């Protein structure tokens, strides 16, 4: 989040809100799987995108780069301790099993089972990503968006 040194500027220029929780980044403690000299601050970029889409949302950042068990614990902490309604990640741990539920999937299932929307990247390797045609599940969903007054009339 803060390795490239642009976080304060992002707040000044309105790319990020002034107040948000930074629970754990690469400078917080030793043991990350990469160090700040290798980091690209993708977490900050995700926060910027979310702030653009939902400028009034409360934002919380927590790194998932301290190992798979810590990442799973962080998912649960975001839901339980910080009451996050939506969790977004773009990480992949190659040690997670593909054909059974590992610790990350168990954490995601736990928070999703408690009403949290969990969104994960399907790939983060540019042209080496997964691509397939859209397949309609047949399920129908509706979304109601309230205006600033909290009602749906747009006034």
Distance CA 8, CA 148 (A): 28
**Closest to 64 in 3D by CA, of 72, 56, 52, 76:** 72
State the pLDDT at residue 152.
Answer: 59
pLDDT one-digit tens code per residue, 88-141: 888 888 888 888 999 999 999 999 999 999 998 766 666 776 678 988 888 887
Handedness of CA 45, 50, 55, 56 (dihedral sign): negative
pTM above 0.75, yes or no: no
**Closest to 64 in 3D by CA, of 34, 100, 84:** 34
pLDDT one-digit tens code per residue, 31-72: 655 666 666 677 888 888 888 888 888 888 888 878 899 899
């Amino acid at each position: 989040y803060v390795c490239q040194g642009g976080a304060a500027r992002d707040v000044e220029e309105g790319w990020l809100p002034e107040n948000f929780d930074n629970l754990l980044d690469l400078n917080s403690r030793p043991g990350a799987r990469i160090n700040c000299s290798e980091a690209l601050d993708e977490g900050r970029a995700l926060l910027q995108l979310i702030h653009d889409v939902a400028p009034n949302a409360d934002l919380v950042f927590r790194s998932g780069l301290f190992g798979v068990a810590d990442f799973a614990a962080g998912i649960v902490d975001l839901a339980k301790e910080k009451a996050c309604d939506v969790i977004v990640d773009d990480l992949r741990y190659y040690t997670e099993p593909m054909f059974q539920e590992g610790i990350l999937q168990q954490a995601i299932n736990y928070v999703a089972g408690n009403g949290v929307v969990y969104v994960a990247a399907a790939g983060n390797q540019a042209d080496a990503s997964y691509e397939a045609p859209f397949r309609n599940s047949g399920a129908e969903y509706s979304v109601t968006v309230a205006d600033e007054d909290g009602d749906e009339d747009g006034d």
